[in-house]
Amino acid sequence: MGSIRHVVPVKLIIGSLTGIPELEKQVEQTLAKQFGPIDLASPVMAFNYTEYYTREMGSRLRRTFYSFERLIDPAELAGIKRRTNELEAAYAVAAFPVLRPINLDPGYLEMGKLILASTKNHSHRIYLQEGIYAEVTLLYREKQFQPLEWTYPDYRSPAYHTFFLQIRGRYRFQLMEAGFIAGKSKSP
């Protein structure tokens, strides 16, 4: 029988998708208020991988990822997904020219994988709680992130992977500083 160990904290990430550029800074500030200081933000990236969101969100969508300074217990993911859904709903009732002005995709990164939360069940997703599921979206192997059969097209992007590697470097440094992993402490 294996022994139960303490859970290593993980690095919260949230992807923001919108077609309303003036909303981006406001969303970043809202996320920082909700989840604590942001330690890394990706460049704003054009989202041209699918037309799935066009009807609700319009065209010329842009994606930005944020990682947060405070490491979290992975068990917090379901509550965070519910909170980001509430934030989306609050923006949806504001005076914007589209039905869904913002899409927020929370997940977390750990040394070996990237996990995303979802409200939708599927064969590769595991139920967490409160109507929220999780999936392994990317694996970290051979010093890079690698997609799986079900990985969304945008999460296969080299630009995303480059940013996730930056987050992973920051996360590794935090784990070393906290004594979770051994190694020479280097600045991220």
Residue 144 in tokens: 């890079």
* Distance in angstroms (rounded) separating the CA atoms of residues 63 and 155: 11
**Domain 10-177 classification at class level:** alpha beta
Predicted local distance difference test score (pLDDT) of residue 182: 83
Predicted local distance difference test score (pLDDT) of residue 67: 98
Predicted local distance difference test score (pLDDT) of residue 6: 85
**Tens place of pLDDT per residue across the chain (188 aa):** 888 888 999 999 999 999 999 899 999 999 999 999 999 999 999 998 888 888 999 989 999 999 999 999 999 999 999 999 999 999 998 878 899 999 999 999 999 999 999 999 999 999 999 999 999 999 999 999 999 999 999 999 999 999 999 999 999 999 999 999 887 544 44
Provide the residue ranges of all domains of the chain, joining segments of one domain with +. 10-177
Residue 148 CB-half CA count within 13 A? 14
Predicted local distance difference test score (pLDDT) of residue 184: 59
Q: Which residues does residue 110 pair with via DSSP β-bridges, in sequence order?
A: 113
pTM of the model: 0.93
* Distance in angstroms (rounded) separating the CA atoms of residues 29 and 153: 28
